[in-house]
Amino acid sequence: LTCVRICPYHVPKMVANLTGVGNIIGAAQIEPTICQGCGICVAECPAKAIQLMHYTDAQTLAKLDALFEHDEVLEEKVLA
């Protein structure tokens, strides 16, 4: 699964007895006490099956957009 591969903190773990999106057997489980709340899994999940607790999808995506925009500004300053 994308979330298992993409998480920099290795939080999502495959659980064979969980039912995922589309009633597929086997799904990722995210332990909320370990999750760092970065939102990368939310942005990358093709099934849109993940939502950060206390944040809507739109808020999470806006947070990520701002982060990437900030990185581009820093990169421009370094290159200038």
Domain assignments of the chain as residue spans, ordered by start: 2-79
Q: What percentage of the chain exceeds 70 in pLDDT?
A: 86
Q: What is the sign of the dihedral through the CA atoms of 64, 9, 14 and 30?
A: negative
For residue 15 the two structure tokens come to: 């659980």
pLDDT higher than threshold 90 for residue 53 = no
Q: What is the pLDDT of residue 10?
A: 95
Distance of alpha carbon 23 from alpha carbon 10, whole angstroms: 24
More confident call, 18 vs 78: 18
Q: What is the pLDDT of residue 58?
A: 84
Per-residue confidence band for 41, with pLDDT thresholds at 50, 70 and 90: very high
For residue 72 the two structure tokens come to: 């581009």
Distance of alpha carbon 8 from alpha carbon 70, whole angstroms: 20
